[in-house]
Structure 1
Amino acid sequence: MEQLTDAAIRKSFINATRSEVSALNLPAGFAGLDWDNLDYLGWRDPKMPQRGYLITPLEGRAVGVLLRAPETSTPGNKRVLCALCQDVHSEEDVYLYVARRAGQSGRDGNTVGTLICADFVCSANVRQEVPATPIHPDPAAVTAERIAGLRQRPTQFLHRVLGR
């Protein structure tokens, strides 16, 4: 992902009010993010834990959505699959994040949701070393395929937020 500035991040949101954007807190360690190994930028607001943010490239520019996390997580014995990284081996919690739709539809109260790793660790998940198997003898090809899928799925979610 292309490195973003604070101003570019704040300008990217399509479903947030000016006051929501001005109140957002950047992720911890923002200055040291490894942009080369991020497929999207996602984080939970450290001061407002029920608020999350997801920014991904769309049609040549960074586009962000404000997300709402659930008040409680899924009980520990229930595992759900993140819709973005689709990592079946991850032990991370997965939340149903909800986003207001962009434009008038969102102002009217319409929302869309998707399952995302609670702490937005998808980029690290898809880069985990994969063992060679008879079905997938080339682990590097599997990793490349997983990264390509992760770059595509946040864009699909943004299209739903935009009502496309």
Structure 2
Amino acid sequence: MQPLTPKSLRDSFVNTSKREAAEAIPPFRLETVEWEKLEVFGWIDRSNPLLGFIVIPLDGEPVGIMLRASGNKTKKTMCALCEDIVDVSDVKLFVAKRAGAAGRKGDTVGTLIHGHFGCSKQVRRKPNSIEGKRDPEKFIADRIEALVANAEQFARRVLGS
């Protein structure tokens, strides 16, 4: 993922008002982020644990999406982005307003995502004995590729394209 500045981060949001985008500040300094190890970048709002933000690269540009976590507890389930079957404890249903006129009318899309937005880390974990015994490096590369494709697909759904 390309490094983001505070301005490029604010400018990336496609389903927020200008005020919401201005308030979408990660709880850590952007200079400390290891961008080369990320396919998606996300965080939970410090003042509202049901509000999250995720930035997904799409066609070379960052697409920022504001998300709301469902207040309902879900059964342990797989994240739709990284498809990790080992860490399913913090997967939540997140809903995003669609971009543009559709979102202003109230149209939304939802997906299951790790509540800690650690998908980039999850896809880099070593495979267990069942998953990728023969070629662990290929297993990880395939998972990274799938994360990118799944994240792009979600961003396109939010954009309505």
> Normalised by the shorter chain, which TM-score bucket?
over 0.9
Distance 1:134 1:80, change over 3 A: closer
Indicate the residue corresponding to 2:7 in structure 1: 7
Distance in 1, Cα, partners of 2:157 & 2:49? 24
Inter-CA distance 135–72: structure 2 relative to 1 (3 Å threshold):
closer
RMSD: 1.7
Q: Structure 1 pair 152/134, CA: closer, same or farther in 2 (3 Å)?
A: closer
Q: Per the alignment, in what secondary structure is the counterpart of residue 140 of structure 2? A: helix
What is the CA–CA distance in structure 2 between the aligned matches of 1:53 and 1:73, rounded to whole Å? 19
Cα distance change on mapping 1:92 and 1:16 into 2, 3 Å: same
Report if aligned partners of 1:25, 1:47 keep a CA contact under 8 Å in 2. no
- Counterpart CA distance in 1 for 2:88 and 2:131 is 25
The DSSP-based 3-state class of the residue aligned with 2:78 is: coil
Secondary structure of the corresponding residue to residue 19 of structure 1: helix
Query: Residues 134 and 13 (structure 1 numbering): CA distance in 2 closer, same or farther, change over 3 Å?
Result: closer
Alpha-carbon separation, structure 2, partners of 1:119 and 1:161 = 20
Distance 1:16 1:134, change over 3 A: closer
Alpha-carbon distance in 2 for matches of 1:134, 1:97: 27
Q: Which amino acid aligns with 1:107?
A: R
Alignment TM-score, normalising by the size of structure 2: 0.93
For residues 47-58 of structure 1, the aligned pairs below 5 Å read 47-58=47-58
For residue 34 of structure 1, what is the aligned residue in structure 2?
Answer: 34
Distance across 1 between alignment mates of 2:131 and 2:26: 43
Task: Name the residue aligned to 1:110.
Answer: 107
2:155 paired with 1:158: yes
Gapped regions of structure 2 (runs ≥ 5): none
Residue of structure 2 equivalent to 1:94: 91
Query: In the alignment, which residue of structure 1 is the partner of 2:66?
Result: 66
One-letter code aligned to 1:88: I
8 Å contact kept, 2:79–2:88: no
Structure 1 stretches lacking a partner, 5+ long: none
Change (3 A) 1:24 1:133: closer
Scaled by the length of structure 1, what TM-score is found? 0.91
Does the CA contact (< 8 Å) of 2:77 and 2:89 recur in 1? no
| 1:16 to 1:136, Cα distance in 2 relative to 1, 3 A | same
Cα displacement (A) at 1:73: 3.1
Partner of 1:149: 146
- SS of the aligned residue for 2:144 comes to helix
Deviates more, 1:58-67 or 1:9-18: 58-67
